[in-house]
Each structure stands twice: as C-alpha cells, then as structure tokens.
C-alpha cells in the first residue's frame, strides 16, 4: 500500500502571507532598524512607550539558547546540549 501526503495551498493564501514580518525576539522590530537608531534613541523610545496612563501589561522575552535538539524552523541562536546545568548557569548570570 502506497501512502502519499499531499499539501495543497491556495494562491490566495500564499499571497496573503507573502510579506516580511518582524522577528518576535527583537524590539524594536527589524523593519524599523537603521544606522541612526542607537542607545540614546532606544532609551528615549523606552521612556516614551512607558509614560502615561492605562499602559498595557509589560511582556518580556528572555531567550534561553540551550536546546535538546535543533528545530529547523527556528531562527534563534541556540546551542544543542542535553546538559541542563548550562541553562541554570546562564539564568543565574541573567539575574545578576
């Protein structure tokens, strides 16, 4: 018995998603990066976006680069290891 898996995607779906998107791990997102966006503009933007009333909840992302296996779709920097101690030591440094 021959089993085949066939994936069909409509041209409308392809066109809908045929555009660049920001990486979830960067702020500001990559499309707004330019050579003039340095530490001072970053600090000013942080102050600007955290001033005022009724601010949305804060969301932070900390990338822990130690993985048990490689995900071929992942664009993050990662180190493949089964040693959990590496992540614990890394997190201790982040806390400092």
At 21, list the tokens. Answer: 């998107």
What is this structure's pTM?
0.44
Taking only the tens place, the pLDDT of each residue in 39-68 is 998 899 888 888 888 888 877 778 888 999
Instruction: Using pLDDT thresholds of 50, 70 and 90, give the confidence band for residue 26.
Output: low
Secondary structure string (H, E, C) spanning the chain: CCCCCCCCCCHHHHHHCCCCCCCCCCCCCHHHCCCCCCHHHHHHHHHHHCCCCCCCCCCCCCCCCEECCCCCCCCCCCEECCCHHHHHHHHHHHHC
């Amino acid at each position: 018995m021959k089993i085949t898996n066939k994936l069909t995607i409509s041209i409308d779906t392809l066109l809908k998603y045929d555009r660049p998107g920001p990486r979830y791990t960067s702020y500001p997102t990559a499309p707004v990066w330019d050579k003039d966006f340095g530490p001072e503009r970053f600090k000013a933007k942080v102050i600007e976006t955290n001033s005022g009333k009724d601010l949305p909840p804060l969301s932070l992302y900390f990338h822990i680069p130690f993985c048990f296996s490689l995900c071929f779709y992942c664009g993050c920097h990662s180190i493949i290891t089964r040693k959990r101690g590496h992540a614990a030591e890394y997190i201790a440094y982040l806390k400092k």
